[in-house]
Structure 1
């Protein structure tokens, strides 16, 4: 992926920081070359030590969709283990630009103001965790 590409928010505005955008460009530039007909890209960030017993950093999935010569945010989803007897990996947070909502697993859909505030906090933490090398990253191209 070339550094001259842009990522926009498609009309649903959350406080996306320059450090978060740069993190995405860094992850994409470290991936194998993107096929020219790519329609979307999914980035998966995983803590290899994360488990229901030990905890760790939640897995995160970020999807971008092609828009002209750049990209648009589709969604950011943060997963976590839920349950004690038979824990399952479930969506904890879901930020969707294309569907225009912010969802938190215990509260449901949030207002725009609540969503912006939560996203800002989540993003700050995620960038810090990434800078600490908490994640391994995989990139999948959709043609």
Structure 2
């Protein structure tokens, strides 16, 4: 019998950005899927394992620094 735990796991992280053209629009720039272990970037497509690890490390460190500066607030909700 499997013991029930209340651990949360990330399924994916998606980063959106405004892309300029005649009518700027919000598009998916970075998509990190933990279950498939794949990372997508708008400008280069699917990344190999080494590139994915580098981008993920940079993304997380930037996220933490922006949070520390009070640039945005993070909230977690359960729907």
TM over 0.5: same fold?
yes
Matches within 5 A, 1:7-18: none
Which position in structure 2 is the counterpart of 1:94? Answer: 31
State how 1:57-96 maps to structure 2 within 5 Å: 68-96=5-33
TM-score normalised by length of structure 1: 0.49
Aligned-partner SS, 2:71: coil
Q: Structure 2 length as normaliser, TM-score?
A: 0.84
Deviations 1:5-56 (A, max 9, x none): xxxxxxxxxxxxxxxxxxxxxxxxxxxxxxxxxxxxxxxxxxxxxxxxxxxx
CA RMSD of aligned residues (A): 1.6
Identify which of structures 1 and 2 has the higher relative contact order when contacts are C-alpha pairs closer than 8 Å and 6+ apart: 1
Runs of 4+ aligned residues of structure 1 deviating over 2 Å after TM superposition are 136-140
Write the distance in 1 (CA, Å) between the matches of 2:8 and 2:14.
Answer: 18
User: How many residues end up aligned between the 2 structures?
Assistant: 76
Give ranges in structure 2 of 5+ residues lacking alignment.
Answer: none
